[in-house]
Amino acid sequence: NAGVTQTPKFQVLKTGQSMTLQCAQDMNHEYMSWYRQDPGMGLRLIHYSVGAGITDQGEVPNGYNVSRSTTEDFPLRLLSAAPSQTSVYFCASSYSTDRGIGYTFGSGTRLTVV
Amino acid sequence: GNSVTQMEGPVTLSEEAFLTINCTYTATGYPSLFWYVQYPGEGLQLLLKATKADDKGSNKGFEATYRKETTSFHLEKGSVQVSDSAVYFCARAGAGNMLTFGGGTRLMVKP
């Protein structure tokens, strides 16, 4: 059981380049989300999805796009990379039942924009 | 909106000292509450959680009690070890299973 798989683990981009951070989960979780972690600021929500075909913006969505065509995959697209997007990105999947909520995080993608 | 406030660090303790990291949250309904730990260079690991008022989450000697009356979820450990040195995040769940995190508290334990 792989859990949540993020690729790549590290990436360096030049300002203005675009790229896609991949996130895949094999637990059939309904919910998926993307967070960025900046020094001293904790994790902030970028975008989230409550199911295939449904996405919504989080706290810091500008400069990012997402789509959820399948339950398993939730890619994050950087449209035109900026130095302010240098960060560590975490993808998470989660479930919600009568017995509670559970989350699984990927291992993160460290992105540097120069 | 939802928010989580936790004490700023770093918190520096000697081995075997008592640890408290304060966490308060905005009270919209009865959100599930979490503590995550992040070791250097690694991702987030769930430390413990609580889903309703007066629940006590516990794991690896850490405990936190869901206090509805004070909207708090303080993390405690009776005797810290050097291996507990890490960054600790308090978080609350919201609509759409979104998590709102506190800013993190760095704990440094000295031998």
Are B27 and B49 within 8 A, CB to CB? no
Token pair for A80: 């035109």
pLDDT tens-digit map of A50-60: 999 999 999 99
Are B51 and B37 within 8 A, CB to CB? no
What pLDDT was estimated at residue A54?
A: 96
pLDDT(A10) > 80: yes
What pLDDT was estimated at residue A100?
A: 85
pLDDT tens-digit map of B6-50: 998 899 999 999 999 999 998 778 899 999 999 988 889 999 999
pLDDT band for position B65 (cuts 50, 70, 90)? very high
B7 touches chain A (CB under 8 A): no
Question: Do the Cβ atoms of A96 and B97 come within 8 Å?
Answer: yes
pLDDT(A114) > 80: yes
Residue matched to tokens 């990291």: B21
Q: What is the DSSP string of A56-68?
A: EE-SS-TTEEE--
pLDDT(B81) > 90: yes
What pLDDT was estimated at residue A50?
A: 95
Token pair for B93: 């769940």
Over chain A, what is the mean pLDDT? 95
Residues of B in contact with A98 (CB under 8 A): none
If you count DSSP H runs as helices and E runs as strands, how many of each does chain A have, helices first? Answer: 0, 11
Question: Do the Cβ atoms of A58 and B100 come within 8 Å?
Answer: no
d(CA B63, CA B76): 5
What pLDDT was estimated at residue A1?
A: 62
Q: Over pLDDT 90: what percentage of chain B? A: 83
A66 touches chain B (CB under 8 A): no
Give phi and psi for B51, each to the nearest 5.
Answer: -110, -15
Shortest Cα distance from A93 to chain B (angstroms)? 9
Which residue of chain B is at minimal alpha-carbon distance from A98?
B51
What pLDDT was estimated at residue B8?
A: 87
pLDDT tens-digit map of A65-88: 999 999 999 999 999 999 999 999
pLDDT tens-digit map of A27-63: 999 999 999 999 877 899 999 999 999 999 999 999 9
Residues of B in contact with A94 (CB under 8 A): 97
Are B92 and B101 within 8 A, CB to CB? no
